[in-house]
Amino acid sequence: MKTMLISVGGAEAPVINSIKAHAPDKLIFFVSRGSRSQISEKIMPAIFADLKKMIDHEFVVSPDEQDIGESTGVLLSEVPKAMRKLGCDAVWPDIVDYTGGTKTMGAAVVWASSKFPCQFNYVGGTERSKNGLGVVVDGAERHVTLQNPWDRLAYFEINDALKLFDCGQYANSAELFAAIEKKVTDERAKREFHVLQAIVEGYSQWDMFNHDKALSLFQKNMPRLKDISESECFYLPKMKDFTERTDFNFKFLQDLKAGGKLSWFMIHDLLANALRRSVLEKKYEDATARTYAAIEKIAKLQLQMKYKISNARCRPDQIPDKLRTEYAAKYADSGGFLKFGSIASYELLLHLGDIYGQRFAELANVRAHMSERNNSILGHGICVIDREKFELLFDDALKILKIEVPDLPVFPKFMEDGKRMMEKIINNDNVED
Question: Are 59 and 103 found together in one domain?
Answer: yes
Say yes or no: 24 and 83 in one domain: yes
Q: How far apart are CA 30 and CA 5, in angstroms?
A: 7
Say if residue 249 is in the same domain as residue 124.
no
Q: Do residue 185 and residue 112 come from a single domain?
A: no
Q: pLDDT tens digits for 287-311?
A: 999 999 999 999 999 999 999 999 9
What is the tally of helices (H) and strands (E) in the chain? 19, 6
Q: What is the pLDDT of residue 78?
A: 94
The answer to whether residue 191 is domain-embedded is: yes
Looking at residue 43, its amino acid is I
268 in the same domain as 254 = no
User: In this structure, is residue 179 part of a structural domain?
Assistant: yes
The predicted structure's pLDDT at residue 147: 59
**In a shared domain, residues 280 and 228:** no
Sheet with 119-125, strands from edge to edge, namely 56-61, 26-31, 3-7, 95-97, 119-125, 141-146
Indicate if 97 and 203 belong to the same structural domain.
Answer: no
pLDDT of the residue at 237? 64
What does the pLDDT average to over 53-58? 88
The total number of structural domains that make up the chain: 3
Its domain, for residue 68, covers 3-146
Looking at the structure, tell me whether residues 254 and 269 fall in a common domain. Answer: no
- CATH code of the domain containing 92: 3.40.50.10770
What is the reported pLDDT for 303?
98
Q: What would the pLDDT profile of 377-415 be if each residue is shown by its tens digit?
A: 888 888 889 999 999 999 999 999 999 999 999 999 887
Confidence of residue 129 (pLDDT cuts 50, 70, 90): very low
For residues 133 and 192, state if they share a domain.
Answer: no
Q: Check pLDDT > 80 for residue 366.
A: yes
Decide which of 61 and 121 is more confident.
Answer: 61
pLDDT per residue over 240-295, tens digit each? Answer: 889 999 999 999 999 999 878 999 999 999 999 999 999 999 999 999 999 999 99
How far apart (Å, rounded) are the C-alpha atoms in residues 187 and 387? 46
Cα dist. 323→350, 363, 367 in Å? 11, 21, 20
By C-alpha distance, which of 153, 154, 149, 148 is closest to 180? Answer: 154
**Which of 121, 108, 91, 93 minimizes the C-alpha distance to 15?**
121
SS3 53: coil
- At 420, give phi and psi (nearest 5°): -65, -40
Per the domain annotation, does 417 fall within a domain? no
pLDDT tens-digit series, residues 149-204: 666 666 667 888 888 999 999 999 999 999 888 877 778 878 888 999 999 999 99
428 lies in a domain? no
- The answer to whether residue 414 sits within a structural domain is no
The most confident of the ranges 110-114, 138-142, 339-343, 377-381 is 339-343
